[in-house]
């Protein structure tokens, strides 16, 4: 276990002289430094590259815990002659400062743990940069590519920090179900689930139940959102959230869509207005992002560089804006000529138009108070204007819409009489009956957030196992 | 947001005089105490019960953050006369110490936020204890039942602590896919997934692909385990883990099985032996459990009481034992007469036999070195005895088998020649080819762990939305 920690701490040490470090960081780094240069270490890792000079062999090795590499210096002899890229070694020695100021391990002893065979059919050349489409073809080997490994560490860190943040705020994480009988938004783009075994289906058959539904006695789908389930839990537990897979059976090749993706959704109780919800989202996203940067800026910058994206996230520094739907529409109509897509009052905004609004405001924008007919049945209607619901979209640079949210209709009678209420959602109406309260919340595509952070263009490269039309590898 | 924190801290204060508290806890509690009795608070929550005396009305209220209730004291007048169980109120006042030593809020002002209507069709009587089967029938209202809410908070806490622990140990969390083309153990008890829309399937059709498979060009199933996917990632990232839904299409009414459940799985690199893996599991489970107890003993004890289970977890105090399969079998054969189930050398142990071994050893037991024919293809065979694989089962009190693990076969040639290797797992064999290493790991049913902690008999009561044969509510 220890070797993973060590690689990270050695990388941290390399930043010891950076002027921006706080005193606290400096002290910690000094202690790490003394620890590192005064001890003998056993480091294990994959050889990323080899250089042979007259007396010495120089190996760049990596253990998967960081995008940095550590140089290992060995005497050149018949034994070390065989070391090649891809092999796994264990090296014992002392860390020293190289003439270029970097740290390197002078190894007294090297153990060869396994052979790399990187020439023999290995699809990635260590010195070449491969196109993401090509890398994706070899999904099972993809974590060995540096920018993918860095992206997966950033994903881990961002997820961990979201859990930390929500827990600190007193939210209870609810595991909303993957298998469900409701399809939330009613868009119909659902995956159906049933046992593969025809024998089991037959064995479980009941009168009046079609045989393909005999496992659950009804049609069952994969979840498109955990929102309605969160609401049910919030009526007993207060604030709740989830960060879980969601599924859409769409035939979309878009770089922003997947058949299986992750949704971060939260439900807040006693929520008085959309402004409170917007404030929560802005503070949460800024805080989470700053913590990701604090914890792992090196990997994030590595991803940004690989994606040819800027390392600046200017939206962290500015206050975010709020526009009503009507104001946003007016702005778009006034600039209609600059869009390829038509501006219509009926269909929401195109991505191009969303990015225009963000750019116009020079900040992320919450668009609030949407036309009722554009939004789902569960959103709370404005008591002053039934043509509007208390809904919110958050528009961000690069990705466009990142979050959607609303106050939920708290009035059982209004909800019951909504023409789009699915008939199987009696339970949802009944939630309001016994000690109902005003809740509201939002959903955020977690992969889109990662794309926003790292500038990675295709959503398929920020998730370990992308699933999309005609592709479900492994 | 603040009101949730306050309920918790008030509950903590109630323990101020407990003799076992450390000095650090005492100081923190003293500060909380001063903060609480010297300020006016606004508390919001559901009324759990009402008592009316001559001059005052006493309300027990709860906000979902704790299983404790706070008594609110109000003057009796026409306004407060209407307050009933289930209603949501907001009360402003000061916290005082009641004659019985408990804390209570003397409210100067009460705002009525919503009406409870608990008489009008509400299935749960506040003063009655309902059977779990009955409570489960009303799944959408279940979080309002105290022991279910407590269980969901314990679930949240245990999950959070597992993430904290694994992160501290340098593991990278991988979101293993729910949609997959492989079924890992080859048991065939899988759920099949395809789009519900026949039109979409037709639209996406390709030559030589059956139309029901046209979305992914092949049959796709719900994951039964993330292990093989974790392994692929560990070859680039080092130690990895996941805590994710898994699915089994079994017709089982057992109180230990669900169609959708959560698996905690970890993969460790450079793993030298099963003893190292067993040591990791024991230390992890003890540490995680102690942290759950530190963080939320009140809710856990509430669950244990509701389940008529002991609040003692003696397995935290003792060193765990290790038996070889042969030793375990010998013990069982020697005690054959005390079992209802037959002891056979071919089929593993029954739950009754597992619990006997735990009881015999007076400790949890790792059973190691299993017959090759009883275990799946990916386990490493003993180089001394090809009839045995390096596999491990962890047996615990109450639940029997909690974890299963193994070293993975690291030799590509041996793996390739295994008769049970599914033909679509070429990628799995290829992992060993380029810089292969010795990995190993384990899987644990997360709900079974929760049952072990809380003593809850039916697994359907430790997950918010249980899915089992003939039942998929909401």
Q: Are strands B321-324 and B260-269 parallel, antiparallel or unpaired?
A: unpaired
Question: In angstroms, what CA-CA distances link A282 with A275, A279, A285, A323?
Answer: 10, 5, 5, 15
The answer to whether residue A224 neighbours chain B at the CB level (below 8 Å) is: no
pLDDT of B188: 67
Residue contacts between A and B (CB atoms, under 8 Å): 344
pLDDT confidence band for B257 (50 / 70 / 90): very high
Same domain, B253 and B114: no
Query: Across the interface, which of B139, B172, B431 has its CB nearest the CB of A152?
Result: B172
Residues on chain A touching B260 (C-beta within 8 angstroms): 177-179
pLDDT confidence band for B2 (50 / 70 / 90): very low
Same domain, A117 and A155: no
Same domain, B151 and B284: yes
Domain boundary among A88, A122, A156: A122
Residue of B nearest to A159 (CA): B173
Burial pattern B273-292, b for ≥16 Cβ within 10 A else e, equals: ebeebbebbbebbbebbebb
Is position A210 within any domain?
no
pLDDT of B437: 86
Q: How far apart are CA B203 and CA B56, in angstroms?
A: 70
Contact in structure between B232 and A148 (CB atoms under 8 Å): no
The answer to whether residue A348 neighbours chain B at the CB level (below 8 Å) is: no
Is position B219 within any domain?
no
What percent of chain A stands above pLDDT 70? 91
pLDDT of B13: 44
The answer to whether residue B26 neighbours chain A at the CB level (below 8 Å) is: no
Cβ–Cβ gap B63/A191 under 8 Å: no
Q: How far apart are CA B132 and CA A321, in angstroms?
A: 49
Q: Can you give the residue range of the structural domain that contains A79?
A: 9-122
Phi, psi dihedral angles at B214 (to 5 degrees): -70, -20
Mean pLDDT in chain A?
Answer: 89
pLDDT of B30: 55
Same domain, A103 and A249: no
pLDDT confidence band for B23 (50 / 70 / 90): very low
pLDDT confidence band for B22 (50 / 70 / 90): very low
pLDDT of B63: 86
Same domain, A287 and A160: yes
Cβ–Cβ gap A215/B473 under 8 Å: no
Tokens of A21: 């470090």
Mean pLDDT in chain B?
Answer: 89
Same domain, B285 and B412: yes
pLDDT of B390: 98
- Counting the structural domains of chain B, the total is 2
Cβ–Cβ gap A251/B117 under 8 Å: no
Q: In what order do the strands lie in the sheet with B179-180?
A: A179-180, A220-222, A191-195, B191-195, B220-222, B179-180
Which residues touch A24 (CB under 8 Å, ≥6 apart)?
Answer: none
What percent of chain B stands above pLDDT 70? 91
Q: How far apart are CA A234 and CA A230, in angstroms?
A: 6
Contact in structure between B225 and B433 (CB atoms under 8 Å): no
pLDDT in tens, B231-255: 999 999 999 999 999 999 999 989 9
Is position A389 within any domain?
yes
Cβ–Cβ gap A160/B173 under 8 Å: yes
Residues on chain A touching B218 (C-beta within 8 angstroms): 472
Is position B208 within any domain?
no
* Mean pLDDT across B322-340: 96
Interface test with A, best of B112, B236, B281 (most A CBs within 10 A): B236
Residue of B nearest to A267 (CA): B1
The answer to whether residue A435 neighbours chain B at the CB level (below 8 Å) is: yes
Cβ–Cβ gap A434/B167 under 8 Å: no
Would you say residue B183 has pLDDT above 70? no
pLDDT of B4: 39
Residues on chain A touching B222 (C-beta within 8 angstroms): 178, 193
DSSP state for residue A36 in the 8-state scheme: H
Is position A211 within any domain?
no
Same domain, B113 and B159: no
Distance from CA of B370 to the nearest CA of A (A): 26
Cβ–Cβ gap B435/A114 under 8 Å: yes
* Mean pLDDT across B180-184: 78
Cβ–Cβ gap A118/B194 under 8 Å: no
Contact in structure between A223 and A178 (CB atoms under 8 Å): yes
* Mean pLDDT across A376-405: 96
Which residues touch B413 (CB under 8 Å, ≥6 apart)?
Answer: none
ipTM of this complex prediction, to 2 decimal places:
0.93
Q: Are strands B321-324 and B365-371 parallel, antiparallel or unpaired?
A: parallel
Contact in structure between B462 and B303 (CB atoms under 8 Å): no
Phi, psi dihedral angles at A181 (to 5 degrees): -95, -5
Interface test with A, best of B59, B138, B156, B437 (most A CBs within 10 A): B156
Query: Across the interface, which of A118, A178, A435 has its CB nearest the CB of B434?
Result: A118
User: Which CATH number does the domain housing residue B430 bear?
Assistant: 3.30.930.10
The answer to whether residue B263 neighbours chain A at the CB level (below 8 Å) is: no
Write out the H or E segment, with its range, that includes residue A428: helix A426-430
Q: How far apart are CA A460 and CA A236, in angstroms?
A: 37
Query: Across the interface, which of B191, B229, B436 has its CB nearest the CB of A193?
Result: B191
The answer to whether residue A296 neighbours chain B at the CB level (below 8 Å) is: no
Is position B468 within any domain?
no
pLDDT of B423: 86
pLDDT of B21: 42
Residues on chain B touching A140 (C-beta within 8 angstroms): 232, 427-428, 430-431
The answer to whether residue B469 neighbours chain A at the CB level (below 8 Å) is: yes
pLDDT confidence band for A299 (50 / 70 / 90): very high
pLDDT confidence band for B45 (50 / 70 / 90): confident
Is position A158 within any domain?
yes
Would you say residue A213 has pLDDT above 80? yes
Same domain, A325 and A452: yes
pLDDT confidence band for B32 (50 / 70 / 90): low
Same domain, B255 and B162: yes
Q: Which of A92-106, A126-140, A166-180, A259-273 has the lowest mean pLDDT?
A: A92-106
pLDDT in tens, B94-144: 888 777 777 788 988 888 888 888 877 899 987 788 999 999 999 999 999
Same domain, B110 and B168: no
Contact in structure between B162 and B264 (CB atoms under 8 Å): yes
Residues on chain B touching A232 (C-beta within 8 angstroms): 139-141, 143, 474
Contact in structure between B393 and B367 (CB atoms under 8 Å): yes
Same domain, A39 and A182: no
Distance from CA of A337 to the nearest CA of B (A): 35
The answer to whether residue B3 neighbours chain A at the CB level (below 8 Å) is: yes
Would you say residue B8 has pLDDT above 80? no
Q: How far apart are CA A398 and CA A254, in angstroms?
A: 14
pLDDT in tens, A11-61: 544 433 333 444 444 444 455 555 666 677 778 889 999 999 999 999 998
Residues on chain A touching B139 (C-beta within 8 angstroms): 232, 427
Q: What is the pTM of this model?
A: 0.93
Q: How far apart are CA B453 and CA B293, in angstroms?
A: 10
User: Which CATH number does the domain housing residue B29 bear?
Assistant: 2.40.50.140
Residue of A nearest to B137 (CA): A427
Is position B301 within any domain?
yes
pLDDT in tens, B422-451: 988 999 999 998 887 899 999 999 999 999
Interface test with B, best of A89, A118, A193, A201 (most B CBs within 10 A): A193
Sort B17 into a burial class: Cβ within 10 Å, 0-12 / 13-18 / 19+.
exposed
Q: What share of chain A is helix, strand, coil (3-state, %, to 5)?
A: 35, 25, 40
Interface test with B, best of A238, A284, A460 (most B CBs within 10 A): A238
Same domain, A118 and A147: no
The answer to whether residue A48 neighbours chain B at the CB level (below 8 Å) is: no
């Amino acid at each position: 276990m220890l070797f993973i920690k060590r690689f990270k701490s050695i990388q941290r040490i390399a930043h010891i002289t950076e002027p921006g470090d706080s005193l606290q960081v400096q002290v910690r780094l000094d202690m790490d430094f003394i620890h590192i240069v005064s001890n003998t270490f056993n480091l294990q890792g994959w050889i990323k590259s080899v250089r042979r000079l007259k007396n010495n062999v120089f190996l760049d090795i990596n253990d998967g815990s960081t995008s940095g590499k550590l140089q290992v210096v060995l005497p050149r002899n018949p034994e070390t002659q065989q070391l090649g890229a891809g092999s796994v070694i264990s090296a014992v020695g002392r860390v020293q400062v190289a003439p270029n100021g970097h740290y390197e391990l002078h190894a007294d002893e090297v153990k060869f743990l396994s052979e790399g065979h990187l020439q023999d059919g290995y699809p990635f050349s260590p010195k070449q940069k491969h196109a993401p489409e090509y890398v994706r073809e070899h999904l099972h080997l993809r974590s060995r590519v540096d920018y993918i490994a860095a992206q997966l560490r950033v994903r881990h860190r961002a997820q961990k920090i979201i859990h930390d943040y929500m827990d600190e705020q007193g939210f209870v994480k609810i595991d909303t179900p993957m298998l469900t009988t409701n399809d939330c938004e009613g868009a119909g783009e659902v995956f159906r689930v049933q046992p593969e075994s025809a024998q089991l289906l037959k064995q479980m058959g009941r009168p009046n139940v079609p045989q393909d539904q005999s496992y659950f006695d009804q049609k069952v789908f994969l979840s498109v959102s955990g929102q309605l389930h969160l609401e049910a839990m919030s009526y007993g537990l207060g604030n709740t959230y989830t960060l879980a897979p969601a599924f859409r059976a769409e035939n979309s090749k878009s770089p922003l869509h997947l058949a299986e993706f992750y949704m971060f959704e939260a439900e807040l109780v006693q929520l008085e207005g959309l402004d409170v919800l917007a404030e929560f989202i802005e503070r949460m996203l800024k805080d989470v992002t700053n913590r990701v940067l604090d914890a792992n800026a090196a990997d994030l910058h590595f991803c940004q560089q690989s994606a040819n994206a800027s390392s600046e996230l200017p939206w962290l520094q500015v206050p975010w804006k709020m526009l009503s739907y009507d104001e946003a529409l007016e702005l778009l109509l006034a600039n209609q000529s600059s869009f390829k897509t038509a501006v219509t009052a009926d269909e929401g905004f195109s991505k191009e138009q969303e990015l225009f609004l963000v750019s116009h405001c020079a900040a992320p924008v919450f668009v609030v108070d949407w036309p009722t007919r554009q939004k789902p049945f569960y959103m709370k209607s404005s008591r002053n204007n039934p043509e509007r619901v208390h809904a919110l979209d958050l528009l961000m640079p690069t990705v466009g819409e990142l979050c959607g949210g609303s106050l939920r209709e708290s009035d059982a009678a209004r909800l019951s009489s909504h023409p789009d209420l699915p008939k199987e959602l009696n339970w949802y109406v009944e939630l309001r009956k016994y000690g109902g309260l005003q809740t509201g919340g939002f959903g955020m595509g977690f992969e889109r957030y990662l794309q926003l952070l790292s500038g990675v263009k295709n959503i398929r490269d920020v998730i370990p196992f992308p699933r999309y039309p005609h592709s479900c590898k492994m």
